[in-house]
Amino acid sequence: MSDIFSVLSSAYASGAVSTTSKGKYVAVDPKAYEGTWSGSYTKNNKKFSLQISDVQGFRAQVKVHDSNGVSNQSVLIKNGSFRVGNTRFVLNGTGKATVATAVTDPVSGNVTLLKGAATQS
């Protein structure tokens, strides 16, 4: 069973698995997204945070802080989610989200998918 998860993690990290869905982009409620989202990954307890700002329609500016450093990117929000580099953000409800990051070990090349819950402040 663990082999299946390894294959899925590798495919997710390489982009071989499409994470997009059909349909059109629609405007979102800026209050549902804007602010600082923080949490920790369940697998290693390392903390992460996302700063979401300037939400206009379905576009936003996002800065991700985690153990891998800082990433800053403009994103398109679709179906309550977006992606910044190897990190995916999924809105679960008011003030709650799931964050998943694919991390590649530089020595072995193994890919690990880290997940954690985030809360908005």
Q: Say yes or no to pLDDT of 13 above 80.
A: no
61-70 as b/e, with b when 16 or more CB fall inside 10 Å?
ebebbbeeee
Which helix (H) or strand (E) is 60 found in, with range? strand 59-66
Q: Say yes or no to pLDDT of 16 above 90.
A: no
121 burial type by CB count under 10 A (0-12 exposed, 13-18 middle, 19+ buried): exposed
- Domain residues of the chain, as ranges? 2-120
* Token output for 53: 């700002």
Mind listing the pLDDT tens digit for each residue in 25-66?
Answer: 999 999 999 999 999 999 899 999 999 999 999 999 999 998
CATH topology of domain 2-120: Lipocalin (2.40.128)
